[in-house]
Structure 1
Amino acid sequence: MKMNNVEQFILAEADYFHPMLERAQQSTLEQRESWRRETIRERQERMSLEVFDLLQGTVKYGPFKGLHLDRDTWWGKLDLGSQCLGLYEKEILNLIEATEAGRFSTFIDIGAADGYYAIGMLVSGKIGKTICFEQTEKGRAVIAENWKKNHSVGELTILGEANAASFASLRAQDLENALVLVDIEGFEFELLTDEVLNLLKSCTVIIEIHHWMDDFLAKYNAFLRNAAHYFDIETVQRVERETSNLPELRDFTDDNRLLLTSERRPGMMRFLKLTPKAQ
């Protein structure tokens, strides 16, 4: 930005540096010393919860704008800040944002954790009905509570473990033209057998691939060959998390701003999108 009047430039620069200078004045010597002893994980949790509190636990950006989150989550406390800023798993959020309301009949969330996607889809208005699978009792209780916190919007069904039998028990209309998200920490190949893929053949399926199990490539290749019978397969391209444009992070250090967006993955994760083959 070019300014001919130096006094105007000085005022603009004072405004630019104000958040950083104000933050520096707010911390005590004891706080700064304790922060130097933090582990990376401890610092990330502190940054995440600071943003969560700043935004009062409400998602401010992205397709889930307005979604209320629970601070005492059992699964993803380190991701709360990123979720509030609409940055968490932005690849998936961008796909959801580009989806027209009513495009899919049902959202099926496999590995629903705290219900971020299950309830977020209902809050977004993109889909009016969600079926989520979460095998832990604690997770199912948290999802139910979070749904109440969001005024029980839409229609939510909470089920236990996802397997061939539980899928077969779903109504045909729930599987017809559904959007399915699979994130089950490496068990996707055990779940997505040919039998299950056949049940899902009219659905659009988004899968997070986890590569750290034994015999990964053999299992992955077998899965891809089975899936190709029913679906066109494409990768979901990595999306960078832009933070410099967010006013909430203006006074964050570079390390803290970037750490906030880290999803602590052991590499660049692979998301696949499976689209039903033309019948």
Structure 2
Amino acid sequence: MDLHELAAKHLRKAIQDGALDSPAGLNQCLRALAIWRSKLIDNQIIARHGLTVQNGPFAGMVFLNRSAEGCLAPKLLGCYEAPLHPFLMEVTDSAFDTIIDIGSAEGYYAVGLARRTTTTRVLAHDTNPIAQDAVRELAALNGVADRIETGGEFQGADFALHAGGRTLVVMDIEGGEDALLRPDLYSALAGMSVLVECHDIFKPGLCETIAERFRATHHVRRVDEQLTPPALPDWFEQTTHLDRLLAMWEWRSGATPWLVMKPRR
């Protein structure tokens, strides 16, 4: 069954189930159609440019033809989570000895950040074995497999293993950040830089809760999602405005602000 047939099957079932009778159901159908269209855009980008990231801090990275979670086009275009790019550009060997990517998915950040350095050790943790395999595949494609270690669930006590060094924690774990980012329980966090996506969509107010925990030891900055138009390839001029928007769409269904937190000392 191809992509068109899958989308049509999903919509037929939604209609049979009465999805068109409520705003929530209509929204569900709209999201399904948007994902279908965005996957077609993925295919166009790959056909024209291959799997090389076009722009942003990870420009030149060879990516996979799939994303372990969510969107693909923004990653290939290099506009994925664009408000974070200024901080990501700061990642160099002189900035960090170790990067811990918790919730690494297929390794977009783990491998992308490894490419920006030459000696920094990168630890990529994800509870999904398929995602771990994808990280290893992506690392090998980009020649950084010797500096990336994959692992499963990261425990709070593991922060102590990296105390005293220059460590960056990148975290995206669908609300699990509430339990892990506890400097009152894991003192090593006081000396670490933290880049975390806060899932207020699941736990309202979570971003401010975590920010408050770190204000005594860190400079804390909130970064909200913005639809930042990238320099789209010229052929996008021949597409619709909707396709241009969907090329940048990251499949989010609610607020997921980021916190950039740097130690004061």
TM-score bucket of the superposed structures, by smaller chain: 0.7 to 0.9
Q: Select the residue among 166, 182, 186 that pairs with 1:177.
A: 166
Quick one: distance in 1 between partners of 2:68 and 2:197? Answer: 21
- Matched to 1:113, the amino acid is A
Sequence identity (%) = 24
Aligned to 2:159: 167
The answer on 1:190 being equivalent to 2:179 is yes
Kept after mapping to 2: 8 A contact 1:231/1:275: yes
The answer on 1:200 being equivalent to 2:189 is yes
Aligned to 2:55: 61
Quick one: distance in 1 between partners of 2:84 and 2:117? Answer: 16
Per the alignment, in what secondary structure is the counterpart of residue 170 of structure 2?
Answer: strand
Q: Select the residue among 68, 77, 84 that pairs with 2:76.
A: 84
Q: Select the residue among 211, 227, 240 that pairs with 1:224.
A: 211
CA deviation map 1:156-206 (0-9, x unaligned): 1111111213333x3446xx2212111111111011123555212211111
- Matched to 1:183, the amino acid is D
Quick one: distance in 2 between partners of 1:171 and 1:220? Answer: 24
Q: Report how far residue 236 of structure 1 moved.
A: 2.2
Q: Report how far residue 257 of structure 1 moved.
A: 0.7
Aligned to 1:27: none
The answer on 1:270 being equivalent to 2:263 is no
Distance 1:74 1:243, change over 3 A: closer
Alignment gaps of 5+ in structure 1:
1-29
Structure with larger Rg: 1
The answer on 1:97 being equivalent to 2:121 is no
Quick one: distance in 2 between partners of 1:237 and 1:255? Answer: 23
Kept after mapping to 1: 8 A contact 2:77/2:232: no
Alignment gaps of 5+ in structure 2:
12-31
Quick one: distance in 1 between partners of 2:184 and 2:40? Answer: 44
C-alpha RMSD of matched pairs (Å): 2.6
Aligned to 1:21: none
Q: After the TM superposition, which residues 1-279 of structure 1 pair with which residues of structure 2 at under 5 Å, given as runs?
A: 39-76=33-70, 79-125=71-117, 128-152=120-144, 155-168=147-160, 170-172=161-163, 176-195=165-184, 197-214=186-203, 216-217=204-205, 220-236=207-223, 238-243=225-230, 246-278=233-265
* 139-148 vs 95-104, which moves further: 95-104
Quick one: distance in 2 between partners of 1:227 and 1:83? Answer: 30
Kept after mapping to 2: 8 A contact 1:129/1:154: no
* 220-229 vs 254-263, which moves further: 220-229
Aligned length: 237
Kept after mapping to 1: 8 A contact 2:83/2:224: yes
Distance 1:148 1:109, change over 3 A: same
Distance 1:159 1:67, change over 3 A: same
